[in-house]
Structure formats: structure tokens, C-alpha cells
């Protein structure tokens, strides 16, 4: 089970996590988890280029190490890189020491102060330690591109219906989701571009 739109009660009880950007302007914050991938990331970057959209890629350290040229390409195009752990560990099922060590191993590769816990799973103990070094980014919209039970059309409808100013939306950069992304992303970008929205990466200037 997962929430498409993050309930306010959850963001209220986990105030140290960033769920949405308080935004008066028409801005959306695209994020892509689980990459980089040789076949997938390039396709996503090409689509973003078509709409002059910028995004944040929360990358897995071991994949990033194998695909350093793609990481360079992401940065060169003006996107932001975030830490998604080195081995894609579930914080709720991992000891604190192992979890921290895995995140730091990823940081050696990516050198980013943005962190998103894989699966969105993180304990209060882990938050308490990590918040001093990282901005811990969750999301306000999870349209479910990873969900085998929803169609690409439904993924698009969910994405459009639940997006507002300052939304942090999560898509996934992997082979299991790329078909839905290739369908959903350009239509999503076109819809909101025509409505006067712009797409910006997450960065330190947002958290002052």
C-alpha cells in the first residue's frame, strides 16, 4: 500500500523531512529515483531537454559508480544529484550503523547533501543523526509508476490531478518503469508547461 498524495498528518509528524516546497510561484520539483541507468537515464534526459525542464536525480551509489559519465551528463545539463544510499537499503530493516555507512559510501561517489531514503523508509533515530548533514527529501506526490497494477494512462492522470505549486513528485529511473515514464513524462511536462509552470531542481537556496 502507498499514498499517491502524502497525507498532511504524516508530514506534520515528520517535520524534519521535506515533503513539499512552500511555493507561491508555479513551480514543480521533479525527482527520479533509483538510477542512473545506461538505457533509462538518457531517455529521461532527452525528454526533459525538450521542455527545458530541470529535475533532481536521487541516485544509487553502486549504479552511479558504474555509470560516472551519466552522472556527469546529469550535472552538465543543469540537474541536481541526490544520495539514494549506495545499495538501496530499507532503513526500517537495516541497523543504524549499516544504514549510515551505506549512505556515506554513496556520498563518497556523489558528494551531495540531499538524501532520499529508499522506499521512503527511515526511522526517527536515523533522521535525528542524518538531518545534521543532509536535507532529507521525501515527496508530496507518488503517482505509482512502479505499480504493476496501474496503467500508464492512470499514472499520468494521477500525476496531473494531484500536482499543485511546490509539489515534489517521484518517478523512477529503471527498466521496470521506463515504459510508463516515456509515456507519462512528456505529457505531464506539456500539460503544466502550457499552464505556466516551470520545473526546477532541488537545491540549497530552497532550504534557507
109-130: average pLDDT: 97
CA distance from start to end of the chain: 34
Distance CA 16, CA 179 (A): 34
Distance CA 117, CA 80 (A): 17
**CA dihedral defined by 27, 9, 2, 145, rounded to 10 degrees?**
0
136-163: average pLDDT: 98
Read off the pLDDT of residues 65-114 as tens digits, 9 standing for 90 and up. 999 999 999 999 999 999 999 999 999 999 999 999 999 999 999 999 99
Distance CA 93, CA 34 (A): 18
Bridge partners, 63 (sequence order): none
Q: Report pLDDT for 1.
A: 85
Q: Report pLDDT for 205.
A: 79
What is the per-residue burial (b if ≥16 Cβ within 10 Å, else e) of 185-196? bbebbeebbeee
Residue pair 108/85 in contact by the 8 Å Cβ criterion:
no
**pLDDT at 206 > cutoff 90:** no
pLDDT confidence band for 207 (50 / 70 / 90): confident
Q: Report pLDDT for 87.
A: 98
Structural domains in the chain plus CATH codes: 16-137+175-197 (3.20.20.370)
Read off the pLDDT of residues 12-56 as tens digits, 9 standing for 90 and up. 999 999 999 999 999 999 999 999 999 999 999 999 999 999 999
Amino acid at each position: 500500500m502507498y499514498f499517491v498524495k502524502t497525507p498532511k498528518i504524516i508530514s506534520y509528524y515528520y517535520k524534519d523531512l521535506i515533503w513539499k516546497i512552500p511555493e507561491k510561484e508555479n513551480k514543480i520539483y521533479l525527482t527520479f529515483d533509483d538510477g542512473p541507468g545506461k538505457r533509462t537515464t538518457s531517455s529521461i534526459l532527452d525528454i526533459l531537454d525538450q521542455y527545458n525542464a530541470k529535475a533532481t536525480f536521487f541516485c544509487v551509489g553502486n549504479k552511479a559508480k558504474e555509470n560516472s559519465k551519466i552522472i556527469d551528463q546529469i550535472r552538465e545539463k543543469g540537474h541536481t544529484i541526490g544520495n539514494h544510499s549506495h545499495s538501496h537499503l530499507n532503513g526500517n530493516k537495516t541497523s543504524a550503523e549499516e544504514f549510515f555507512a551505506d549512505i556515506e559510501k554513496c556520498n563518497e561517489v556523489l558528494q551531495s547533501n540531499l538524501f532520499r531514503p529508499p522506499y521512503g523508509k527511515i526511522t526517527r533515530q536515523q533522521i535525528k543523526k542524518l538531518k545534521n548533514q543532509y536535507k532529507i527529501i521525501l515527496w508530496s506526490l507518488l503517482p505509482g509508476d512502479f505499480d504493476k497494477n496501474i496503467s500508464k494512462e492512470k499514472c499520468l492522470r494521477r500525476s496531473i490531478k494531484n500536482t499543485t505549486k511546490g509539489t515534489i513528485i517521484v518517478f523512477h529511473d529503471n527498466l521496470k518503469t521506463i515504459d510508463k515514464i516515456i509515456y507519462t513524462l512528456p505529457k505531464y511536462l506539456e500539460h503544466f508547461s502550457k499552464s505556466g509552470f516551470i520545473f526546477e531542481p532541488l537545491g540549497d537556496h530552497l532550504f534557507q
